[in-house]
Amino acid sequence: MTPLKTVWIIDDDPISRFGLKKLSEMTNFCLSIFCFENGQEALNYLRYIIDAAELLPNVILLDLNMPILDGWQFLDAIKTFTLSENIKICLVSSSIDRLDHLKAKQYTAVSDFLVKPFGKSDLQRVFQEADSLND
């Protein structure tokens, strides 16, 4: 099993960001981890690297509630991009609102929904599934 090259963490909460980064590192799956404070920052970077396939992330851990551009708006924005199906987007939120989970199902790009708090093993499973896509 080859470790994933890149994981993006898009979350406005510094504590949450720190925790996700730490957990991701502990899975030993990632070569590099990128953090963004909101959807807009991530979107700006994505636009910049869109043509450089090797720089695209394998997994995006996306928070829902964020200022400026929230998780949903980010998902709406990347609909216009032709992104590889190999990019796995996993929603990461403390929301247990049924409506959020229903809404998540509307986005084909979204493959998982992790509800905070979660442990290392949950993240490991997500990474493993993403890894199998790359094989």
Partner 1 sequence: MIKTIHALTLNGANNKDYRILNYPFMSENYSLYKQATALVGIGVWEYNVVSEELFWDDMTRMIYETDEGYHPSLIDTMGFFSQIPSVYGVENELEKIVATAPHLDCQVEIKTQKGNYKWISSNAKTEWVNGQCTKLIGTVQDITDVRASIEKLRLSGNNFYNAFNHSPIGMALVSTAGRWIKVNDCFCQMLGYTMEELGDLTFQDITYADDLDKDVLHLKQMLNKELKTYSTEKRYLKKDGEIIWVLITASLVSDKDDTPLYFVTQVMEITDKIRKTEMLIKKGNGISNIINSRKIGAWEWHIEADVFVCDERCAIMLGYSEKELLNTMTKWLSNVHPEDLTGLTKRLEYCFLNKTDYNCEHRMRHQNGNWIWIESHGEVIEWSAEGKPLIMLGTEADITAKKQIELDQKNVMDLLSVQNERLTNFAYIVSHNLRSHAGNFQMMLDLYADEQVEEEKDVIINLLRKNASNLSETLSNLNEVVDIQLSSQKQLKTLNLCEQVNKALINLKGMIDKEGARFSIHIDQTLQIEYRPAYLESILLNLFSNALKYRHPFRTPEISVEATLDEDGGMLKISDNGMGIDLNLHGGKIFGMYKTFHPHKDARGIGLFLTKSQVEAMGGKIEVESVYGTGTTFKIYLIKRK
Length of the chain counted residue by residue: 135
Contacts of 20 (CB under 8 A, 6+ apart): 9, 11, 61, 92
- Least distance from C-beta 85 to partner 1, angstroms? 27
Residue selected from 5, 6, 73, 107 as contacting partner 1 according to rule CB under 8 A: 73
* Alpha-helical runs (H) found in 7-119: 14-26, 39-49, 71-78, 98-106
Contact 130, 114 (CB under 8 A): no
Q: Minimum Å distance from CB 69 to partner 1?
A: 8
Using rule CB under 8 A, residue 44 touches partner 1? no
The footprint of partner 1 on this chain (CB under 8 A) covers a number of residues equal to 26
Query: Which residues contact partner 1 by CB under 8 A?
Result: 13-16, 18-19, 22-23, 26, 37-38, 40, 65, 67-69, 73, 94-97, 116-120
